[in-house]
Amino acid sequence: MMKSRIPVRIRRSAIVLAMIGVSVPSFGVERDYVDRARLAKSEEALVLKMARNRGIEEVAKITTYNMFPTPFRGIAVQGLDRIEGREVSHRVLSVSYRKWLEPGAKPGKDDLVIGDFWAGQARVVKKTILRHGKDEFRIATPRGISVGVCESVLANLLDGRYRLGPAVEEKMMDGVDWSKPPFWETGRSYLGRLRS
């Protein structure tokens, strides 16, 4: 059986294409859609246009979500993270889609409207980076408590150095995802949910 040789020019092209595919991350936007709220490409294009018009030049992620317990759904567009020291911030735009809302839902006076979509102004979300060993966690930016204290509390939780109070059932602690531990201060969510 005779083996055919692939011309050098084609082999080089194949190698270059393979390297580009491996080394360059997927261009575009990350999508996180719930089953009942998937956007078509044409709908996505309108949502991205709205984000640009509202100051989000580079979109990192489009998310759709259910508004339980109602049957309604929504859209969130997140810009790229900007990191300065321990502070991480990004812009988020909430977009409404007429077909996914209650009958008679209307845009606000100052909302940008494109087709069946509308949105107000983008808001800035700020988070703080906490470190524990080699791991990093992003939490809602704390108010009235230092980053050092937050890291100390985080270390105690992750390392199991805590005692449960009388009102806490031990079996409840089994349900905590310690890779994303929650923080609380006197009954209200204080630092938000941690995530790596």
Last residue within a domain, chosen from 93, 121, 149: 121
Percent share of the chain, pLDDT over 70 = 77
Q: What is the pLDDT of residue 181?
A: 59
**Other CB atoms within 10 Å distance of the CB of residue 66:** 15
Query: For 13-17, 20-24, 168-172, which range has the lowest pLDDT when averaged over its residues?
Result: 20-24
> pLDDT by residue (tens digit) across 110-166?
999 999 999 999 999 999 999 999 989 888 888 888 899 989 988 888 888 888 888
Does residue 112 fall inside a structural domain?
yes
Last residue within a domain, chosen from 69, 92, 121: 121
Query: What pTM value is reported for the model?
Result: 0.69
Q: How confident is the model at residue 3 (pLDDT cuts 50, 70, 90)?
A: very low
Last residue within a domain, chosen from 121, 139, 160: 121
Does residue 80 fall inside a structural domain?
yes
Does residue 18 fall inside a structural domain?
no
**Contact indicator for 114, 52 with CB cutoff of 8 Å:** no
Whether residues 188 and 132 fall in one domain: yes
Give residue 43's identity as a one-letter amino acid code. E
Q: What is the pLDDT of residue 183?
A: 55
Whether residues 61 and 117 fall in one domain: yes
Whether residues 112 and 188 fall in one domain: no
> pLDDT by residue (tens digit) across 74-121?
999 999 999 999 999 999 999 999 999 999 999 999 999 999 999 999
Tokens, residue 108: 């606000």
**Other CB atoms within 10 Å distance of the CB of residue 24:** 8
Whether residues 115 and 135 fall in one domain: no
**Contact indicator for 193, 166 with CB cutoff of 8 Å:** no
Q: What is the pLDDT of residue 191?
A: 36
Whether residues 116 and 132 fall in one domain: no
| Residue range of the domain that includes 68 | 30-121
Whether residues 34 and 117 fall in one domain: yes
If one counts the domains in the chain, the total is: 2
